[in-house]
Structure 1
C-alpha cells in the first residue's frame, strides 16, 4: 500500500481564501488569478480528498460542507506552518535585538505563541520584553526605549499610527467561590491612576449610582487578581484568559454593562528594522488566529 498523496499548499490557500471571502471572485482577486483558475484549484482539491468541501448557493454565495468546516480549521494551521518553514529557509538570516513592551495582562495569554513562532523563524534575534502598564509603555515609546508595544485602547497617543489587534468585551470579574459583588459599597481591585479600564469601570458605576470603593490598587495583573481570588474585591478584565478560581459576572448579577475594549500595537519613533516589522507580523498573525478562534466559539 503506497503513501497517501500530499496536499498542495496552493490548493489549500485558494480554498481558505474562498471560505474567508465567501466568494470565488473575491478570492481570485486576493490570489491574483482568474475565477476559473481558482475554481479548477478547488476541483483538484476535492478530487484529491474525494469529498466536496464547498457548495455554491444562489447568487454565487459559497457555503462550506461539513468536510469543508473540518478542512478550513486545519488548513489554516498547515498554511501557517508551511509559511513559517518557507521563511525560515528562504528569508535572509537576521541578527539583532528588538525591544517589545506589553502589559502583563497580555503577556501570559499571547506572548508564548508569539515568541515561539518568532524564535523558530528568526533564532538569531534577541527579544527584550518589558512588562509594564500601558501608560508607562507609551512613555517609553515616546522616549525611543521600545521598538514595539502592545497597549490597551485608550492609552495610544493622538496621531500615532496604531494597529488594532483584538477587540472584545470588558467584563466584571469575581471569585467563583465568594460573592464580593454583593457587598455595599462594592470593593474594587483596580490598576493605578491613568488606566483606561479603571476609568471605564468607575464611570460605569457612577452612571448607575452604584456605591463603590477602591480597596486594592496595583500596577500588575497579579496584584489586582490576588484580592479577587481571595473573595475580597471585584476587578475588570477581558475574558480571553482568566486564572482558575475567577469568573465573569453575568449581566443579571447587578453590575452595569461595560463597553468593548481593544488591544493595539504601536511602533516606536525609530524602530530597529527590519526585525521590528518581522516581529510585528508575527504578533498580528497570532491575534488574527485568536479572533478566528473566538468567532468559531461564538458561532
Structure 2
C-alpha cells in the first residue's frame, strides 16, 4: 500500500521560493527540499529567518530529518542546507551532474582549492532513477536537465518536486540560457515527467504569479501540466518549444542573486573559506555574465 506523505510548504517572498518538508506520518522522518538562506545583497549579510521557521516546525512536531535535498544549483537564492544539517542532521544530496556545474563555474569565479569539483561537499550524489526512502515512503531521483545540467526532480509516493523544470501551467517552464542549459534537453526532461500518472501531485520551487493571477500558487498535477502548460503541453512539438524558449530567454534579465547564489550553492550551501583577515568573500566577475 502506498504511503502518502504529509507536505508542508514555506514561501520566501524575497526570492519567490518554496521550501518543502515532506513527512512520513508513520515514522515522523522527513526530507527538506530547497531551503533558503536569507541574504541581503546590499550589505553582504546572511541571516536565518527562513531556516529557523523550518527548524521550529521540525522541532515542534518531533520530526527526524533524513534528507536535505537540492533540486539543482539555484541561481536565485542561497541554500540553508548546511545550517539545517548542523542543527538537525540529515544527508545533503543533489544530482551527480553537480560536478559538471562545479567545473563550469570554478573557472568563472577562479575559486582555487577551496571548492573541489568532485561533488564531495554533498553527502549523496544521485544518479538518474536512484531509489531511496524517507521513513517508509519510497522515493526516486529523476534526472531532468535543461535548466541546468544537474537538475533533479524527486518523486515521493504520489508527489513530484520538480525544482525549476516546470512552473504552474499558466506560467510555463524553466529558462535554458544559463551555462549548461539546453532547451531540447528540457523538452525531453519534461516529457519524462509527463509520463507519470496524470494524478501525480506536482510542487513548484518558485511562483511569480502569471498575468491575470493575483495570488501565488505552488501545486498542480501532471495532468494539468500536460494539458495546459502555456509553454509545453501535449500539443507542442520539440522544435516549437525550442524556438519559444530561445526567443523568450533572449528577453530575460540576469537574476539579481545569480552571482552570490551560484558561488555558494555549488559548494552545497557552504560559504567560501575565510581569507587571511578572517573575512569570507564572494566574487563578482566583471563583464562576464
Q: Same fold (TM over 0.5)?
A: no
Relative to its length, the structure with more helix (as a share) is: 1
**Higher RCO, Cα 8 Å, sep 6+:** 1
TM-score range, shorter chain: under 0.3
Structure (1 or 2) with the larger CA radius of gyration:
1
TM-score by length of 1: 0.22
